[in-house]
Structure 1
Amino acid sequence: MGGRNFTIVVVLLGFIVLALNSLYIVRETERGVLLKFGEVVDPDISVGLHIKTPFVHMVRKFERRILTLDAPTQRFLTIEKKPLDVDFYAKWKVIDTQKYYTATNGEEGRAEGLLAQRINTGLRNKFGERTFHEVVSGERDLLMTDLTRDLNQITTSEFGIQLVDVRVKRIDLPSQVSQSVFDRMKSEREREAREHRSTGRELAEKIRATADRQRTVIGANAYRDSEILRGEGDAEAARTYAAAYNRDPEFYAFLRSLSAYQSSFSNKGDLLVVDSKSEFFRYLKQGGSKQ
């Protein structure tokens, strides 16, 4: 009994091992290729549970979803021979498992290395045909679109990989060039600032001169108007005095004499030398004779 039980256990274990090596699952997020002694016999295994011959067939599985290649920073030259440090990434996925396995042996790292080489060459050619301004801002999106379209034909035919998109994350000048560019930009900004200041001073002088001229004109006009009004007032006063004088000249002469007396004798220290027979004392004499 002991020997029979042991045999049964061994057979069961062998059956389990055989079943485990015969059954395999391809998930929705995977692509699979079936190999027979290293040769591809089924380049695109469907999703689900499958059976294979143990030790004869081998299954290699690859990612079906879109993958990201984040490449290290590379240095490229523009058409003006200006160096630029470019940081980029690419989106890719496997669409032909047989070509992908043949070209890369199914190794994702090797596939990314081949993609990085092709993208570096494409970027170097595209940057070498454009100026610094076009690369940085003017034609950057168009450059990436053209590069993705051109490289996609190569990667599909050679590696079985669809290049979904290539994008530049960052473009920098090398550190040894950045300082000179910064100094040149600084000098240009300082020159523009000096031009703006000189233009501002010129405009300020023009505004100040215009204001001074307007002030002079306004003052002259005001003085003219005041003199006209003063003249008109003096004329009106003279007419009023003349009308009053003509109504009673004697009384008007008397009031003028009183005003003259008041002004002449307002201060006790004043000294007035006048002939006693002068017309100035006419009303004083008349008043004394009446008393």
Structure 2
Amino acid sequence: MIGAAVALVVLALLVQMSFFVIDPTRQALVTAFGAVKGKPRTEPGLYFKWPWEDVVRIDKRLLHIEAEEFELIAGDQKRLVVDAFARYLIVDPLKYYQATSNNEATFRSQLGNLINGNIRRELGTVPLQAVLSERREQLMRDITAFVQKPALDEYGVRIVDVRIKRADLPRENSEAVYNRMRTQREQEARQLRAEGDEESQRIKAGADRERVVLLSEARKKSETLRGEGDAQAIKIYADAFGRDPQFFAFYRSMEAYRQALGSAGTTMVLSPDSDFFRYFGNIGGQLPQAAPK
């Protein structure tokens, strides 16, 4: 009874050790004493192996690697700090295992060096402006193509794409460029303010000149009109005097009375037989005769 139970336990262990399952996100290699046995198992399902054999599972999803940040010299001799990443698929698990012994840290270090080396080579032939412009996309495609063959031949890995996350000047260069740009902008601002002040003064001076001209023309026109009015008045007076000298003299006297006596409190000391009063007693303007002595 006990022997049968032990036999069942041993049989269960043998069955457990002889079968393995691969899920859709993995692929596997069967090894015995470090040597790979058979072909890679790349499809999901239940597989058989001998109890003394081991199973090495390898990811077959789209994977991501961050390359270490590094510095390079661009084609125009400008220093550049680059931070890149890549996406890849393990398409040949046997080659991958033989190259890395399934040591992910070792593989990532080697692939990162391969990526950085190709980035350094490609960007070292173009100016900084190309990295920052629309040419950047084409540069990424070229780098991906350069990395593709050695990654596949050496590691069984297909590079989907290589991308540059950041490509900047070193910190000390960035600060120098920023300070230089700030100085330039301040100079431009001062220049614009000076030009604005100059334009303002020019406009103001033009307005002042125009005001002086307009006032001068207005005064000239006013004097002209006043002169014309005075001339017309003189002409009217002259015509009136020519037609009726006696009435003109009477009118002038009335104007003199109005101006002299028009305000209240006016005191005048004159002789009664003064020419000023010639129309007071006689509308004809004849002065009264002095009484005989």
TM-score, normalised by the number of residues in structure 2? 0.81
Letter in 2 for 1:177: N
Q: CA deviation at 1:161?
A: 0.8
Tell me the equivalent position of 1:29.
25
Alignment correspondent of 2:253:
257
- The aligned residue for residue 123 of structure 2 is 127
Q: Structure 2: which amino acid aligns with 1:29? A: T
Counterpart of 2:49 in structure 1: which amino acid? K
User: Within 2, Cα distance between the matches of 1:241 and 1:152?
Assistant: 115
* Percent identical: 35
Of the three residues 63, 79, 85, the one matched with 2:59 is: 63
2:43 aligned with 1:46: yes
Q: Aligned pair 1:17/2:4, yes or no? A: no
Give the root-mean-square deviation of aligned CA atoms.
Answer: 3.1
1:44–1:97: 8 Å Cα contact kept in structure 2? no
Are 1:35 and 1:42, in contact at CA under 8 Å, matched by a contact in 2? Answer: no
Q: Within 5 Å, give how 1:1-291 maps onto structure 2.
A: 5-37=1-33, 38-55=35-52, 57-137=53-133, 139-227=135-223, 230=226, 250-265=246-261, 266=263, 268=266, 279-286=275-282
Tell me the CA shift for residue 257 of structure 1. 0.9
Shift of 1:117: 0.4
Separation in 2, partners of 1:225, 1:75: 81
Pair 18,199 (structure 1): closer, same or farther in 2 beyond 3 Å = same
Q: 1:76 to 1:262 in 2, by over 3 A?
A: same
Equivalent position amino acid for 2:18 in 1:
S
Shift of 1:24: 1.0
Distance 2:14 2:90 in 1: 31
Alpha-carbon distance in structure 2 between the residues aligned to 1:145 and 1:237 = 99
Q: Structure 2: where are the runs of 5+ without partners?
A: 289-293
Counterpart AA for 1:10: V
Deviation at 1:66, TM superposition (A): 0.8
Question: Unaligned stretches of 5+ in structure 1?
Answer: none
Aligned residues: 283
The Cα offsets for residues 154-175 of structure 1, whole Å up to 9 and x where unpaired, read as 2112111111122222233333
* Cα displacement (A) at 1:27: 1.2
d(CA) in 2 for partners of 1:218, 1:203: 22
Task: Check the 8 A contact 1:99/1:160 in 2, yes or no.
Answer: yes
Shift of 1:126: 2.2
Equivalent pair of 2:68/2:112 in contact (CA under 8 Å) = no
C-alpha deviations, 1:186-220, integer Å up to 9, x for none? 22222222322233233323333333343344434
Could you say which residue in structure 1 is the equivalent of 2:291?
none
Q: Distance in 2 between matches of 1:88 and 1:189?
A: 33
SS of residue matched to 2:56:
strand
- Cα distance, 1:228 vs structure 2: 5.5
For residues 164 and 112 of structure 1, what CA distance do their matches in structure 2 show?
15
The farther-off stretch of 15-24 and 178-187 is 178-187
Structure 2 CA distance for partners of 1:244 and 1:164, relative to 1, 3 Å: farther
The aligned amino acid for 1:50 is Y
Instruction: Report the secondary structure of 2:175's partner residue.
Output: helix
- CA 1:156–1:232 in structure 2 vs 1: closer, same or farther (change >3 Å)? farther
More helix by share: 1
Q: Does structure 2 conserve the Cα–Cα contact (< 8 Å) formed by 1:40 and 1:98?
A: no
| SS of match in other structure, 1:286 | coil
Q: Secondary structure at the match of 1:284?
A: coil
